[in-house]
Amino acid sequence: MLHPKYRWESLSSDVKASRLLADSLDISPLLATLLVSRGIGNPKEAELFLSGTMKDQHDPMLLSGMKEAVPRIRRAVETGERILIYGDYDADGVSSITLMIYLMRRLGATYDYYIPHRTKEGYGLHIPALEEFHQRGFTLVITVDTGISAVEQIAFANKIGMDVIVTDHHEPPAVLPEAYSLINPKLPFCPYPFKGLAGVGVAYKLAEALLGEQTPVEWTELAALGTIADLMPLTGENRMIVKSGLASMARSAFPGMTALLGTAGWSNGEVTSTSVAFGLAPRINASGRMSHANRAVALLTAESLDEAEIIAEELDVLNKERQLLVEHILEEALLQLEEQAGRNDLPRVIVVAGKGWNAGVVGIVASKLLERYYRPTIVLGINPETGESKGSARSIPGFDIYEALTECEDLLDHFGGHPSAAGMSLNCNKLDDFSLRLNKFADGLLNPEHFVPVMQTDLDCSLQDISLQAIEQIESLAPFGMANSCPRLLIRDVKLLECRQIGKDGKHLKLLLGQNGHTVEAVAFGKGELAPLLSEQAVLDLVAEAGINEWNGSRKPQLIIQDLSVSHLQVFDYRGSRNPAAQLEDLKGKLMNIPACGTGNPAVVANHSSKFLSDCDLKDMAVWVYDKEVGVIPGNTLAKAGDVNEVRTLFVLELPESSEGWSRMLAEFSMLERVYLLHPMRSSHEIIEMPSRDHFKLVYSLLRRTDMSAFKEDELVSALVKRTGWSKRMLELTLGVFEELGFIDRDSGKITVNPTPSKRPLESSSRYRELGLLAEMEQMLLRARVPEITEWMLTRIQGAS
C-alpha cells in the first residue's frame, strides 16, 4: 500500500446545469462541468470568466476613499508638493512601489519612495522615516500594500502636517487610522464589488482613477506579478489583470521584467502564472529578505537591458543564498520540535524561535513546517542584542491566524496580515505566553480532522479521456492560481508500467501509466522518495493535473501528479541480493521517515537458525521467526514487546521450510501493506518442482528394480539423482511421500522397498499435498515476476481470512 498525502474530496457535479451551460455558451461538456463545479454556472458569469478583459473591470471610483485621494494627489502634483511613496518589502509591495513610481513619472510629480528594511525596521509605517521625510519637505504620503493598521504612525503624520493616503488590502483592524483617505476594498463600509485585490491591485486602481483610459496596459505586468506573488485569488478582476499582465510579459516593455524572466529560465513563448510564482516572485522577494527591496525596485525601473541583467543576476544569487539559509533554519527548527515533543504530541499551533534566524526567511520556513506537519505554524527570529522577535505565521483552513493574533495583541508589539498568513513582533520573554495563548485559542477551534489536508478534485476520468483536445479545453480556464487551481483529475485503477527517479539526487519521479490499452507519461515533482514504495505494475489511484509536453515538434499529453495511492498489498523484488544486510539497511533508511508508509512498525522474518539474524544489525527492528504451528513467534525483545497486527512493512530474509509456514505467517501479519523479498535464490540442485503422477511412477519403478535388500539412503538418493535429474532435496521429499504411503520403510539411514504395499492414492498422502504446496510456493517466490507473486499472495491472504 501507499498512503495518499491528502484526503481527496470531489467537487460536486451538476450534470443538468453543466449541460445547460454547455448549450448556452456552445462550449464542451468537459469545460462546462469544470465551470459548474467551481460555482460558475450562470452563463453571464461563465462568459465573463472565460472572456473577460480589462474593459470589464469595475469603476475604481467605487472604492471608498478614492474620491478624496484623486483630487488631493492632483493638487499635490499641480503645486509641486513632494510626495512620498511608502511601501512594503515583499513582491506585492515592490510591484506596488514600482507601479506608483511609473505613475508619478507619468503625472510629472515630485516624489521619492521608501521601503523599510525587513530585519532592521520590519513591516509597516515607521515614525523615524516619516520624520526624516518631513524634514526634507514631503507633505503627502501615499502608502501601498501597508498602512491600514498604522493608527499611531498616521496620527503622528497628521500632527506634523503630513497628509496620508492609505492604499492597502490587508485585514482592517477594529480601530482605523485617521488618514486623509483610506482605500481598501476590505473596509466594511467600502462598496467596491471585488474584495480580493492585492496591494498592487489597489495601487493599479488608484492609477486608473487618475489616468482613466490612458493607463498603460503594460502596467498590468506589475499588477500581475504582485497579485500572483501574494497568493491572491485569481478570480474576478484579479483574473483579468493577470491575464492581461501575462500576455504583456511575453513582449514586456520593462527591461527588468525581461531580464528576470531570462534569469528564471524563460526564453520565449507564453509566460504563465507558474513562471511568475516559481521564477519571478522568489527572486523579487529575495531582495527584501536577504538585502534590501530597493534593488528589486531598481530592477523593475531599469531603463536598459544591460543594467537590468546585472541586477537580475544579483537577485538570482541572493535567491540561491536564501535557499541555503532556509534549509539551515529549517534543520534547526526541526531539531527544536523534536526536543519539544514527538510528532504525535505536537501542539495544535507550532511556535518555534531561534536566535539569529533571519527574519526575512522565517515565513518560508513556516510554510515548509506547515507542509510537513499540517498545522498553524509561527517561526520567529530573535535579535540576540535587543531580545526582539520578528516572525511570520502560516495557517490552515479553519484557523484564522489574524484572528488568533488579535486574541494575543496585548503580547505583541505589532502584527498584521490575512486569515492564512501574518507577521508579528514581540519580546522574546513573551514567547512562552504567546505560544500558550495561541494554543488555548486553538483548543476551541481545531479538531483532529483539521490536521488532515484536503485536496479537492474536479473530475473523475480515465486515461482515455486525457487527450490533447481535452487539455486545451482545460487550459482555457488559465491563468491558474489561488481559488482557480489547475483542474485536478481523479484517475483510479491505473497500472504502473515504468517508474524511475529523475533530477538532481533523484528528487522527482517519471512514470509510464497504462489503463485499458491507453498509456500516458506522468511526472511527480518532489516525490522521488516514493520510488521504493511503488512496486512493479502496482495499481494506482492518483490526482493529477493535465498538461502538454512539447519536444522537438511533438505534442503529447502528460500528467503532473499531485498525489497518489496504492490500495493493495505490494511486493518488492530484491531477491538474490549479493549483500542483503546492506540492502536491508538502505531500504530502512529510505522508508522509515516517509509519511506515505503510514503508521505501524517494520519487521523482518527468517528461520530460527538464520545466519542473517547474526549478519544484520536488527537492534531497532522487530524480528520474527517462522513457526509451523502458529505462523511466527517473536525472535527478539522488540517483537516480544510488539504486536503482529502493528506490522505494516515486512522484510523477508528467508523462505520457510514449508508452505504451511508461509501461509500461517501471512495469516498472522494480517495488516501487511508491503513485503520486501530479500531472500536468497536457491541453486538449481535444490529447486523443487511439483512432480507429476508419471514422475512418481518413474521413481517407484526404479526402486522396484533394485533388489529388496536395504540400501543406505544417501547412496540411493545419489543414484536416483543421476537417473532422474531431480534435485536431491526433491527426491528426499518424494521418498517421504512413499514412506507415508507404505511403499518403503526407513530405518537407521537405510531404505527398504515394501514388496506388497497397500494400494493408496497419492492424494491421500499429506506429504504429497505439502510437496505440491511447497513446490508452488518456491516456484512462485523464486521464479515468478512481482505481479504474479502479488496476485498469488493476495489470494493466499484472502483464503486465510
Alpha carbon of 264 to those of 94, 313, 439: distances in Å?
18, 10, 40
Task: Please indicate, yes or no, whether residues 426 and 469 belong to a single structural domain of this protein.
Answer: no
pLDDT in tens, 440-454: 999 989 998 899 899
- pLDDT digit string (tens) for 579-628? 888 899 889 888 877 878 877 888 999 998 887 777 677 778 899 999 88
List the beta bridge partners of residue 514: 495, 519
Q: Are residues 83 and 213 in the same domain?
A: yes
Determine the pLDDT at residue 685: 66
Strand, coil or helix: 618: coil
DSSP state for residue 528 in the 8-state scheme: G
Read off the pLDDT band of 800 (50, 70, 90).
low
**Is 35 within a domain?**
no
Q: All 3 cell numbers of residue 250? A: 511575453
Which residues, 6+ apart, have CB-to-CB distance to 657 below 8 Å?
Answer: 607, 626
Q: Is residue 794 part of a domain?
A: no
Per-residue confidence at 706, pLDDT binned at 50, 70, 90? Answer: low
Q: What confidence category does residue 22 fall into, taking pLDDT thresholds of 50, 70 and 90?
A: very high
Task: Specify if 153 maps to a domain.
Answer: yes
Give me the residue label for grid cell 523579487: 284
- Give me the number of domains the chain comprises: 5
How far is 759 from 622, CA to CA, in rounded Å? 49
Cis peptide before 397 (omega within 30 of 0): no
pLDDT of residue 600: 80
Which residue, chain included where needed, has cell 482545460?
Answer: 474
pLDDT in tens, 225-243: 999 999 999 999 999 999 9
Residue 327 belongs to a domain: no
Among 291-305, 703-717, 719-733, where is mean pLDDT lowest? 703-717
pLDDT for position 307: 97
Cell triple for residue 357? Answer: 534566524
Looking at residue 53, what is its pLDDT? 95
Residue 342, pLDDT score = 53
* Amino acid symbol at 710: A
* The predicted structure's pLDDT at residue 199: 98
| For range 639-653, the mean pLDDT | 91
pLDDT at 57 over 70: yes
CATH of the domain at 389: 3.10.310.30
Residues 6+ apart with CB under 8 A from 594: 529, 530, 533
Q: What is the CATH number of the domain that holds 643?
A: 3.40.50
589 and 477, same structural domain? no
pLDDT at 190 over 60: yes
Domain boundary among 649, 681, 713: 681
Residues 393 and 469 reside in one and the same domain = no
Q: Does one domain contain both 74 and 214?
A: yes
Domain boundary pick from 398, 420, 449: 449
pLDDT value at residue 757: 82
Query: Using one digit for the tens of pLDDT, what is the confidence trace for 441-499?
Result: 999 899 988 998 999 999 999 999 999 999 999 999 999 999 999 999 999 999 999 99
- Mark whether 544 and 606 lie in a shared domain: no
Q: Please state the pTM of the whole predicted model.
A: 0.83
Q: What is the CATH number of the domain that holds 700?
A: 1.10.10.10
At 708, the pLDDT band (50, 70, 90 cuts) reads low
Calpha distance 679→573 (Å, rounded): 10
* pLDDT for position 251: 95
**Helices 219-229, 199-211: crossing angle, 10 deg rounding:** 160
37 falls within a domain = no
Name the residue with cell 517483537.
639
Nearest alpha carbon to residue 115 among 85, 150, 137, 76: 85
User: Which pLDDT value is given to residue 595?
Assistant: 79
pLDDT at 778 (0 to 100) = 87
What single DSSP character describes residue 784?
S
pLDDT digits (tens, 9 = 90+) for 526-548: 999 999 999 999 999 999 999 99
Confidence band of 684 (pLDDT split at 50, 70, 90) = low
pLDDT at 340 over 80: no
Range of the domain at 85: 57-317
pLDDT at 477: 96
pLDDT at 799: 64
Residues 588, 529 share a domain:
no
In this structure, are 116 and 172 located in the same domain? yes
Stretch (H or E) spanning 419? none
Answer yes or no: do 156 and 286 share one domain.
yes
Q: What is the pLDDT of residue 103?
A: 98
Contact predicate 162/178, CB 8 Å: no
CA distance 530 to 23: 44
State how beta strands 674-677 and 570-573 pair. parallel
Element (H, E) at 558: strand 554-566
User: What is the predicted pLDDT for the residue at 707?
Assistant: 61
What is the pLDDT averaged over residues 365-374?
94
Query: Can you spell out the DSSP letters for 296-353?
Result: HHHHHT-SSHHHHHHHHHHHHHHHHHHHHHHHHHHHHHHHHHHHH--GGG--SSEEEE
Position with higher pLDDT, 797 vs 16 = 16
Q: Please provide the average confidence, as pLDDT, over all residues in the chain.
A: 92
